[in-house]
Amino acid sequence: MNVLNFMQHFFSDGSHWHGYDGIPQRVWEHVQYTAGALAIAAAIGLPIGLVTGHTGRGGNTLAFVSSGARALPTFGLLVLMFVWLGLGIVPVMIPLVVLAIPPILITTYEAIRTVDPSPVDAARGMGMSEPKILFQVEVPAALPLILSGLRSAAIQIVSTATIAAYVALGGVGRYILDGLYQRNYEKVAGGAALTAILALFVLVLFWAVGRVAVSPGVRRRGAA
Amino acid sequence: MIAIEEVSKRYADGTVAVDRLSLQIPNHSITVLVGPSGCGKTTTLRMINRMVEPSSGTIRVNGEDILRRPVNALRRSMGYVIQNAGLFQHRTILDNIATVPRLLGWSKQRARARAAELMERVGLDPGMARRYPYQLSGGQQQRVGVARALASDPPILLMDEPFSAVDPVVRRGLQEELLRIQSELGKAIVFVTHDMDEAITIGDRIAVMRTGGKLAQFAAPDEILSSPADPFVEEFLGADRGIRGLSFLSTRELELDRSQVFPVDSDWKRIAGRDEASSSVLVTDAGGKPLGWADLATWSGDVEALEPYGQSFEVGRDSLRVALDRAVLAPNGQAVAVDGAGQVLGVAGQETIAAAIRLARQRRAADAPQDASKLKAAP
């Protein structure tokens, strides 16, 4: 038996498609964890990245903090949070958010900092206020890079959110963990496949967002 | 009127970018700041819209100290054009031009209508309105930059090396366009360049600055060319300032020779029989337009066999510099003078032009002190 056969058995078993341990429920949980962690990480990482990128100050501190955060082992952090806070959604969210902030923060900072300075100079010279310069000149130009930061953060969260199962929560990690305990490798393979599918879905989603949100003048393709 | 009074800019590390500069920049004219890199010309420009704050001194616009006005309101009252245009890549051409009207709170519709009007004024095809900056050439982008700066009809236009990044042919087109727009709008334009030729072409007055942020000379272009204030200005003008100065002398009083000009249907036997004429004559068509030079001793009467006359100059519109240039390039040293309709008025040899130059020089020397206005002829 190979992995593909495992997967086929897992997905063709009708009992896997309903109930509290069914695929729709677990996927929905996974999507909720991912969206929640990404939203919190973006709420922290985007503003700091935008402001530091615009002013050009604090870049070194950012790099230092981010590489520190990247060095933290996510699983270790989960265990620590579990010991401190017990079961629940919070000890899962904290490691996921810590994981997702560095790519968002650093990419946003770099994206804004490396925007062509001459439109910014022109905007300032025409009497645009600093917030308007940031949101009407710098962000539209930096948007493809900012989105790529969010995208890599989202993909890391999707694959890492499987650890929620360790602290008795749901998500597609449930199948991987339970399958390992039960020596049910169909389940393990199915959970892994679902994680990969979700990651692909994230890619498609960000591609679509990019098509809609990024100006054709910045994308430099398909403009009228 | 922009009055720059004893303005200095010193940076924290002790560098002096501008040193006690005083300049009066009049309305309805183009004032060019020119000088080598590091002379503080861009810093001076950027102090006028407070992109750089002066360390000391004051700048007044129509009598009011610019520090008294809110900085963004001040900047919106002045058009600002920079090198490489600095267009917003994510906005269409139309929306780029509509930027300042939008900042001033105009409705989108009104701002866009105004932008469309300006595209026409700067010579842009209306079909470009919905394009994005990357789809335009450098020269077109710079036209958009100028249109954007003019969008709210500000009385002052600040231009920081706007045409430096385009090739010479496009640059000449943009310079002519700017002069044309200026003749229609009459703004107070402050124009920074490092190119003395550009300064002479477009400036009504030129402020030559030297390294260390000091003013070397502030005068009309012909005055700078004919009497540079010091060796620095003279060197900055380059080796051919004498020739370039001819750009400001008119061909109107040039003594043209008509005795060598004949229409193609003349009685050539009789002309060849003359004894006083030189053997070379200019043949024109029946309408008086030049065809070419004929050597009477050898010419068969065949129009195809005429010696080409090169280019002509237009009396009154072209300068003595152009006339001299045509004479130098002509095979027999004779420049062909035409009127506005292209009909031959006569020919002028290099000696005739040299005499006209001497005459104009003497006349200028006689009334130089009071005559600051300049005769602007195309170079």
B185-224 pLDDT, tens digit per residue, is 999 999 999 999 899 999 999 999 999 999 999 999 989 9
Q: Please, what are the domains in chain A?
A: 25-216 (1.10.3720.10)
CB-based contact B132 A215, cutoff 8 Å? yes
Q: Name which of A120, A127, A140 is nearest B90 (Cβ-Cβ).
A: A140
The domain containing residue B9 runs over which residues? 2-246
- What are the angstrom distances between the C-alpha of A220 and each of A141, B48, B130, B286? 11, 36, 14, 57
User: Which residue of chain A is at minimal alpha-carbon distance from B160?
Assistant: A122
In this predicted structure, the answer to whether residue B276 has a pLDDT above a threshold of 80 is no
The total number of structural domains that make up chain B: 2
Question: In this structure, is residue B373 part of a structural domain?
Answer: no
Q: Which of B246, B274, B305 is the last residue of a domain?
A: B246
Q: In this structure, are B285 and B327 located in the same domain? A: yes
User: Which residue of chain B is at minimal alpha-carbon distance from A117?
Assistant: B86
B90's enclosing H/E stretch is none
A204-216 pLDDT, tens digit per residue, is 999 999 999 999 9
User: Which residue of chain A is at minimal alpha-carbon distance from B158?
Assistant: A125
Cβ contacts (< 8 Å) between B148 and chain A: which residues? Answer: 122, 126
Going along B123-278, which residue ranges are E strands?
156-160, 188-193, 205-210, 214-219, 261-263
Q: In this structure, are B233 and B172 located in the same domain? A: yes
User: What pLDDT does residue B377 have?
Assistant: 45
Interface with chain A: mutation pick from B49, B66, B89, B150, highest number of A CBs within 10 Å: B89
User: What pLDDT does residue B368 have?
Assistant: 56
User: What pLDDT does residue A224 have?
Assistant: 36
Question: In this structure, is residue B16 part of a structural domain?
Answer: yes
A128-173 pLDDT, tens digit per residue, is 999 999 999 999 999 999 999 999 999 999 999 998 888 878 888 9
Q: What is the mean pLDDT of chain A?
A: 90
User: What pLDDT does residue B275 have?
Assistant: 59
Q: In this structure, are B267 and B344 located in the same domain? A: yes
Question: In this structure, is residue B79 part of a structural domain?
Answer: yes
CATH code of residue B34? 3.40.50.300
Q: In this structure, are B302 and B211 located in the same domain? A: no
Interface with chain A: mutation pick from B53, B66, B76, B88, highest number of A CBs within 10 Å: B88
User: Which residue of chain A is at minimal alpha-carbon distance from B102?
Assistant: A128
Question: Structure pTM?
Answer: 0.82
In this predicted structure, the answer to whether residue B85 has a pLDDT above a threshold of 60 is yes
Query: Comparing C-alpha atoms, which of B176, B151, B87, B89 is closest to residue B378?
Result: B176
- Rounded CA gap, B231 and B217, in Å? 11
Does the beta carbon of A210 lie under 8 angstroms from any beta carbon of chain B? no
Question: In this structure, is residue B33 part of a structural domain?
Answer: yes
- Provide ipTM, 2 decimals: 0.85
CATH code of residue B328? 3.10.580.10
B344-374 pLDDT, tens digit per residue, is 999 999 999 999 988 888 887 776 554 444 4
B144-176 pLDDT, tens digit per residue, is 999 999 999 999 999 999 999 889 999 999 999
Across the A:B interface, residue pairs with CB atoms under 8 Å apart total: 85
Does the beta carbon of A131 lie under 8 angstroms from any beta carbon of chain B? no
Cβ contacts (< 8 Å) between A139 and chain B: which residues? Answer: none
Cα distance from B90 to chain A (closest Cα, Å)? 5
Q: In this structure, are B199 and B328 located in the same domain? A: no
